[in-house]
Structure 1
Amino acid sequence: MDDAIRLAKRVARQFACSRTMAEQYIEGGWVSVDGQVIELPGARVAPQQAVALAQDANPMELTPVTLVLNKPAGYEAGLGLEAGHTSHTSRSQGAPQALDLLSAATHLADDPAGQRVLLRHFRALECFTPLPTEASGLVVYTQDRRVARKLREDIEVLEQECIVEVAGQIQEDGLQRLCHGLTFNDRPLPPIKVSWQNETHLRFALKGIRPGQIPSMCEAVGLSVVDIRRIRIGRVPLARLPEGQWRYLQPWERF
């Protein structure tokens, strides 16, 4: 394939468009080579290979996306830019990145967003909703600067809801103290909404949560934490998203 050229160059030449538009066509999933969709503008194609452009191809600038993941326990979801599978504030001991779970294969089959999955949707993702490696549940990754700014600036004031599995015997006034009266890192905690979901699970709704805070609170009233699962951030719920799968945040959803 010594005479092979970049796909973007071939598309620009074959369909009489600019190189920028050709790259938008390709990254938008509108271009196929020998019947197979190729999303990499730098892919090499030989003269004898058939390059086709979808009839409904749209060269408009591609919109950044936000992905909602149900992270299983054992994966790290850190803070800041995670593109290239690197977290700025990694505190785990070799735990795999939750980012590794984001692929076409783990996309929710009946995602109501109706969005086509593209390779570019997994690039330059930021995560401002950290979750401890041992915890599971809702994590958000975004390319959208507006969503990133919202989460970066407001994560401390957005209410987060967690279901916490506990073991042990709670103290007589334990539930009341969980709601108000405990300290963490030598500082009094503000009022928190805590209630029993069933005999072994507590529901926490709190703001400005700190790593280790919930286990410390439970220990103070005679309980030990078995599992933590985050089910809501602001107004965005985990809902029925299966563990290990993700969906697109819809345009009308707001944190």
Structure 2
Amino acid sequence: MGHEEGISLNKYISATGFCSRREADKLIEQARVTINDELVLPGARVHAGDRVAIDGEPLKGAAKKRPIYIALNKPVGVTSTTDLKDKTNIIGFLNYPKRIFPIGRLDKDSDGLIFLTNDGDIVNKILRASNNHEKEYIVTVDKALSPEFVAQMGNGIPMLGTVTRKCFVRQEGGRRFRIVLTQGLNRQIRRMCEYLGYKVVTLTRVRIMNVQLGDLPVGKWRYLSPQEIDKMNALVATSAKTDEENRPAKKKAPGKPPHNIRKK
């Protein structure tokens, strides 16, 4: 097995709530931790089905908490909601045996890639990491594209009281284009097309960040690979940092208190 697979032993132990990662390192160094009844060195990795024990006592809880990351090719007509009252909800469609929820949205009348997980932490990171969070779509419209349409879509369109961010747009056929967004305004692509006098006929999301839809058939799902999950975590980590760094410093007006001091 490649060394990228599995989860590091100290992280696995801390994920059960037994102790911190640093304390787990000490236990491993003191030769008190076994995997499948064998003593292990620091840097060992835990794989699905492994039995981890500390001082001979099996570690409980980690298996239950193992994060699930699913990539689904959502069909048209399925709604990205966990509301079970909505008969078209994505949870009922997937019918997965454990509790999971979608990350972000994909319109009911769009199809393509959407993630589902039980890891609330990554959901927050992905939704916060607005830059670096590329989503790529293939779109067909109701009439032939013009060079002006492609240029305007890429340069920004006024909608919902703002102007869409500049983005990558490339024509791929008479009525088909590819677009990469780093923001997710409500029904953004449809509204952008409508502004320019076009109507969306089909809209398929083919990539989220580093994960491609590939040849996953409509309505089918797969688990993300450990490599995909590692890369995604790295992207959202650097993205969250750059979000902070890129935030413009607020200039203080002369004679006024700084913006972060509240008046009593």
Same fold? TM cut 0.5: yes
Q: 1:69 aligns with which of 58, 61, 72?
A: 72
Q: Structure 1 pair 102/95, CA: closer, same or farther in 2 (3 Å)?
A: closer
Establish whether residue 178 from structure 1 lines up as the match of residue 168 from structure 2. Answer: no
The structure with the largest helix share of the pair is: 2
The share of aligned pairs that are identical, in percent, is 26
Give the total of aligned pairs: 172
Q: 1:100 aligns with which of 73, 92, 96?
A: 92
CA distance in 2, matches of 1:202, 1:154: 26
CA distance in 2, matches of 1:59, 1:151: 32
Q: How does 1:204-243 map to 2 (within 5 A)?
A: 204-243=179-218
Runs of 4+ in structure 1 displaced over 6 angstroms?
none
Point out where structure 1 has 5 or more consecutive residues left out of the alignment.
1-56, 104-120
1:72-130: CA deviations, max 9, x gaps? 0000013xxx3xxx27xx9xxx4511222325xxxxxxxxxxxxxxxxx6322122221
Q: Please state whether the residue corresponding to 1:168 is helix, strand or coil.
A: coil
CA contact under 8 A between 2:73 and 2:112: conserved in structure 1?
Answer: yes
TM-score by length of 2: 0.59
CA distance in 2, matches of 1:76, 1:213: 17
CA distance in 1, matches of 2:162, 2:92: 36
CA contact under 8 A between 2:78 and 2:93: conserved in structure 1?
Answer: no
Number of the residue aligned with 2:141: 166
Number of the residue aligned with 1:245: 220
Number of the residue aligned with 1:187: 162
Q: Please state whether the residue corresponding to 2:185 is helix, strand or coil.
A: coil
Q: Please state whether the residue corresponding to 1:195 is helix, strand or coil.
A: strand
TM-score by length of 1: 0.61
Number of the residue aligned with 1:52: none
Number of the residue aligned with 2:110: 135
CA contact under 8 A between 2:141 and 2:199: conserved in structure 1?
Answer: yes
1:149-183: CA deviations, max 9, x gaps? 33232256501001111112445522111110421
CA RMSD across the alignment: 2.5
CA contact under 8 A between 1:170 and 1:222: conserved in structure 2?
Answer: no
